[in-house]
Amino acid sequence: MTTTEDLTTSLRTILEKYDTSRDNLIPLLQDIQEHLDYLAPEAVSLVAEHLDLSENDVYGVATFYAQFRFHPPGRHRIKICQGTACHVRGGGMVLDAISRKIGIVPGETTPDGNISLERVACFGSCALPPVMVVDDTVYGRMTPRKSEKLIEDLE
Amino acid sequence: MNFADIQQQASRNWERFQSGETPRILVGAATCGRAAGAMEVIRAFREAQAADPTLLPVEIQEVGCLGMCFAEPLVEIRGPKGDRVLYESVTPAMVPDLVQEHLRQGRPISRNALCRMPDGQQGEIRDEIPLFTDLPMIHHQLRVVVRNCGFIDPSDIDHYIARGGYSGIARAMEMGPDAVIEDVKLSGLRGRGGAGFPTGLKWGFARKAQGDVKYVICNADEGDPGAFMDRSVLEGDPHAVLEGLLIAGYAVGANHGYVYCRAEYPLALERLRAAIDQMRNKGFLGENILGFGFAFDVTIKMGAGAFVCGEETSLMQSIEGRRGMPRSRPPFPANAGLFGKPTNINNVETLAAVSAILEKGGAWYAGIGTEKSKGTKTFSLAGKISRTGLIEVPMGISLRTIIEDIGGGVLDGKGFKAVQTGGPSGGCVSAEHYDLPVDYEHLAQVGSIMGSGGMIVIDEESCMVDVAKYFLGFTENESCGKCVPCRMGTQHLLRLLTGITGGQGSEDDLETIRKIGDTMKKASLCGLGQTAPNPALTTLDAFMDEYLAHIRDHKCPAGVCKDLISFSIDPEACTGCMACAKVCPVEAITGTKKQPHAIDPQTCIRCGACRQACKFGAVRVE
Ligand SMILES: Cc1cc2nc3c(=O)[nH]c(=O)nc-3n(C[C@H](O)[C@H](O)[C@H](O)COP(=O)(O)O)c2cc1C
Ligand code: SF4
Ligand code: SF4
Ligand code: SF4
Ligand code: FES
């Protein structure tokens, strides 16, 4: 676990890379989330201070976009495509199967913090449906069974 | 270095790449290839190489997508005798044979060969392997936008230059901005981002706009689910797009460009970043490009997961660091866009076409396609179709040719019902229009649109009410909520469609859907709300009987809507192969080998997996 002080120091290093103009807001939040995996309240405060915006303003922008999270995700992130091509070829079945298997619905993280589950509206791999992404690896041509097998190995 | 020197050096590198001197392995490693396992295949080749030093001169390279995604992973091997063969569905287990037979002995293996690649030497190629250009999927295509995808190493700028790249910007700067705009007008190119607005005309507006600072933007948001044309081009040939942006900047008088690319495309972003670095090194970006006194630079902005940010005014808000909410027009971006300055925004495919047009001339491009829809269009073929992938065809080709000849027809020989074009703002074209020429005008005539080029094939086992509900679920979720007709309209339509698929609809609902839809079209602020009702309205027109079956008979004829169906097994047709029991997620199917199976309706969650798995059509749905 990092202490608040560590957190502040590491955030400051990120902030230093950006000048204080507003159009840096989204890139900054993306950069921070890349490092922390989510937007901690401390991070939002520091960003607001750096860009001379109100915290409200920063939250207002951050909550608009699907990419930003305000809680730490699980150690493994499973994203299942619910785009059109995946939908007509059984993406819903894959999502249901995983959901049943790990006992959470999309948007949640398992109580042990191991896996979080998300539904995503298209990875652009629509030619190989249904598509599922485990951490950063894209898997095409999934079936409920194959997807269950994939997550059995996740520690 | 002047451009001629740059070209010469690039040609030398390209010739080395093309010549048979060094055996090569080219692996299609775009996102689709990777999803099918391309990286494991590359690893297997590297291991084989490490294990056998005599193979060391072999070069292993990643290339983009050839468009035949259904056959991924695709590996091209150029053997010691110069023959070039493309293998399909390659697995790590196949690697030792490929190495031994083709790479060492120069004997291509015909079993997994999809085709011979163009420009291959004669070698010992066997006649049973067809030529790339004779493949039914490739035969009808015409590659302009994807001219290099899958053929070049996208991380090597020399490959792009050697195949004619950057001669478009060089020619543009010799012609001068006004002549460039005239040439683009002559080409007849219309924006490929959805609306189809003439590109040359748009550039003219931005050029005329007053202002010392102007911007050009490449819209690489590609939020349409089911569309992946832009991704493929960015991953397979990023320079084609960046050169187009450079030309746009030169033509309208902008010195700064942005590429707004969605975060869900990490590989495309990586390729873009690398390509921009190479452009800087070669002098295609900076203060005095190729010595013509034109200054230009590019910044990449990553999207953050909002479909509406593909809309141009919303996209600019997003670059400025705000919520991506559309605003009303006028003022148009050409006069007051990004940071309030004159701005020109174009789609990825539009820009990739522009670089080809400036290379070969507007008249050349205008010679392709139909009267009012010039040139070629890329489509992503997906859904219930045999050969899924990315294609590029001349405008005016028939829907039947696309689906039957190129796409290999409907998956598993099922009946064709409709094709959904244009994404969430599009519509469904039903079987009666199978011979429709595909261009802007004809698609509009049958109530659909070209959109950005997604084509989702729908077969008899898909429910059209469910498809409409699916799209409304998407737009309801993605509506930015700024204006009432869209915010409330999408919610209301979704509620009505959900009711109908649940067996609780009434015939009055259909009238209500039409009324709400018409209001949304007229009163919504941006294209999202104006087009969101289209999937409902077009399916209502073409598939009324399906809606009525849900409402009057509480039946889903396609067997999709869970509340209205039940599954059973026909004991006559069942062979007892057990395939269904294996896939059932809740173990609702019982039976022993070679005996008819049965479904316990209490346990069954109506997921349909057994029906998909049964090769004998024994699973019945009612
Ligand atoms: C809701 C919505 C989403 C859009 N998404 C995209 C997109 O992802 N990519 C794109 O190029 N255009 C998109 N557009 C169209 C753009 O607003 C704009 O028309 C286009 O980028 C102009 O480029 P073009 O003239 O080259 O087509 C979208 C429009 C709307 C209304
Ligand atoms: S039409 Fe929809 S997405 Fe567009 S501005 Fe209105 S609420 Fe937002
Ligand atoms: S898959 Fe079909 S044929 Fe095989 S056991 Fe099941 S119902 Fe019978
Ligand atoms: S529909 Fe799904 S749950 Fe029901 S029997 Fe078939 S596979 Fe099992
Ligand atoms: S619809 Fe699933 S990847 Fe596009």
Q: Are B224 and A122 an interchain contact pair (Cβ–Cβ within 8 Å)?
A: yes
3-state helix, strand, coil in chain A (%, to 5): 50, 10, 40
pLDDT grade, residue B124 (50/70/90)?
Answer: low
Residue A2 clears pLDDT 90, i.e. is over it: no
What's the gap in Å between A65 CA and the centre of ligand 2?
Answer: 15
Rounded to the nearest angstrom, the minimum Cα separation between B596 and chain A is: 23
Q: Please report, in angstroms and rounded to a whole number, the separation of the first and last CA atoms in chain B.
A: 72
State the complex-level ipTM.
Answer: 0.94
The confidence score (pLDDT) of residue B613 equals: 86
The verdict on B539 touching A (C-beta cutoff 8 Å) is: no
What residues of A are in contact with residue B535 (Cβ under 8 Å)? none
The confidence score (pLDDT) of residue B119 equals: 67
Residue B94 clears pLDDT 70, i.e. is over it: yes
Residue B612 clears pLDDT 90, i.e. is over it: no
Rounded to the nearest angstrom, the minimum Cα separation between B240 and chain A is: 20
Rounded to the nearest angstrom, the minimum Cα separation between B18 and chain A is: 29
Using CB atoms, pick whichever of A26, A96, A100 lies closest to residue B318. Answer: A26
Cα B556 from Cα A147, distance rounded (Å): 28
Six-digit token pair at B18? Answer: 């093309």
Cα B269 from Cα A47, distance rounded (Å): 24
User: Which amino acid would we find at residue B547?
Assistant: Y
Cα B106 from Cα B175, distance rounded (Å): 49
Containing A2, the helix (H) or strand (E) segment is: none
Q: Are B32 and A143 an interchain contact pair (Cβ–Cβ within 8 Å)?
A: no
**Average pLDDT of the residues of chain B:** 94
Cα B532 from Cα B544, distance rounded (Å): 19
Give the residue from B342, B13, B51 showing the smallest Cα distance to B209. Answer: B342
Q: What are phi and psi of B374, to 5 degrees?
A: -85, 155
pLDDT grade, residue A5 (50/70/90)?
Answer: confident
Distance of CA B154 to the CA centre of its chain: 18
The verdict on B349 touching A (C-beta cutoff 8 Å) is: no
Q: Who contacts B542 (Cβ-Cβ below 8 Å, separation ≥6)?
A: B418, B428, B430, B447, B464
Q: Are A83 and B264 an interchain contact pair (Cβ–Cβ within 8 Å)?
A: no
Averaged pLDDT, B233-244: 98
Cα B352 from Cα B234, distance rounded (Å): 9
Averaged pLDDT, A131-155: 89
The residues facing B104 across adjacent strands are none
Averaged pLDDT, A126-141: 93
Six-digit token pair at B514? Answer: 């039409």
pTM greater than 0.90 (yes/no): yes
Averaged pLDDT, B191-212: 95
Using CB atoms, pick whichever of B225, B263, B303 lies closest to residue A121. Answer: B225
Share of chain B above pLDDT 90, in %: 83
Q: What are phi and psi of B314, to 5 degrees?
A: -70, -40
Q: How many CB pairs (< 8 A) connect A and B? A: 158
Cα A21 from Cα B594, distance rounded (Å): 71
Averaged pLDDT, B40-61: 88
The confidence score (pLDDT) of residue B23 equals: 87
Q: Mutation test of the interface with chain A: which of B42, B299, B323, B561, choosing the one with the most A Cβ atoms within 10 A? A: B323
Polymer length of chain B = 622
pLDDT grade, residue A112 (50/70/90)?
Answer: very high
Q: Are B382 and A120 an interchain contact pair (Cβ–Cβ within 8 Å)?
A: no
pLDDT tens string B318-353: 999 999 999 999 999 999 999 999 999 999 999 999
Q: Who contacts B176 (Cβ-Cβ below 8 Å, separation ≥6)?
A: none
What residues of B are in contact with residue A96 (Cβ under 8 Å)? 585, 605, 607
Residue B515 clears pLDDT 70, i.e. is over it: yes
Cα B281 from Cα B275, distance rounded (Å): 10
Find where tokens 């290339």 sit. B63
Cα B614 from Cα A36, distance rounded (Å): 46
Residue B470 clears pLDDT 70, i.e. is over it: yes
Please tell me if the CB atom of residue B614 comes closer than 6 angstroms to any atom of ligand 4.
no
Please tell me if the CB atom of residue B578 comes closer than 6 angstroms to any atom of ligand 3.
yes
Q: Are B306 and A121 an interchain contact pair (Cβ–Cβ within 8 Å)?
A: no
> Which sign, positive or negative, has the C-alpha torsion A97, A103, A109, A112?
negative
Averaged pLDDT, B597-611: 91
* B501 to A109, B7, B70, B559: CA distances (angstroms): 30, 60, 32, 11
Rounded to the nearest angstrom, the minimum Cα separation between B4 and chain A is: 38
Complete DSSP assignment for B191-250: -TTTT--BHHHHHHHHHHS--S--EEEEEE----TT--HHHHHHHH-HHHHHHHHHHHHH
Please tell me if the CB atom of residue B192 comes closer than 6 angstroms to any atom of ligand 1.
yes
> Which sign, positive or negative, has the C-alpha torsion B385, B387, B388, B392?
negative
Averaged pLDDT, B99-121: 86
To test the pocket of ligand 4, the residue of B560, B567, B622 to mutate (highest count of ligand atoms within 8 Å of its CB) is B567
Residue A155 clears pLDDT 80, i.e. is over it: no
Which ligand number lies closest to the CA of residue A145? 4
pLDDT tens string B395-449: 999 999 999 999 999 998 889 999 999 989 888 898 899 999 999 999 999 888 8
The residues facing B379 across adjacent strands are B391
Containing A133, the helix (H) or strand (E) segment is: strand A132-134
To test the pocket of ligand 1, the residue of B197, B222, B311, B482 to mutate (highest count of ligand atoms within 8 Å of its CB) is B311
CB B423 within 8 A of CB B193: no
The confidence score (pLDDT) of residue B126 equals: 62
Count other C-beta atoms under 10 Å from residue B402's C-beta: 21
pLDDT tens string B488-507: 999 999 999 999 999 999 99
pLDDT tens string B146-190: 999 999 999 999 999 999 999 999 999 999 999 999 999 999 999
CB B272 within 8 A of CB B155: no
Q: H helices of B335-420, where?
A: 348-360, 362-366, 399-400
Cα B402 from Cα B259, distance rounded (Å): 31
Cα B80 from Cα B96, distance rounded (Å): 16
**Average pLDDT of the residues of chain A:** 92
Six-digit token pair at B368? Answer: 């392709």
Please tell me if the CB atom of residue B525 comes closer than 6 angstroms to any atom of ligand 2.
yes
The confidence score (pLDDT) of residue B125 equals: 58
Using CB atoms, pick whichever of A84, A137, A141 lies closest to residue B225. Answer: A84
pLDDT grade, residue B79 (50/70/90)?
Answer: confident
Please tell me if the CB atom of residue B521 comes closer than 6 angstroms to any atom of ligand 2.
no
What's the gap in Å between B567 CA and the centre of ligand 5?
Answer: 28
Q: What is the β-pairing status of strands A115-120 and B24-28? A: unpaired
Rounded to the nearest angstrom, the minimum Cα separation between A92 and chain B is: 9
The verdict on B381 touching A (C-beta cutoff 8 Å) is: yes
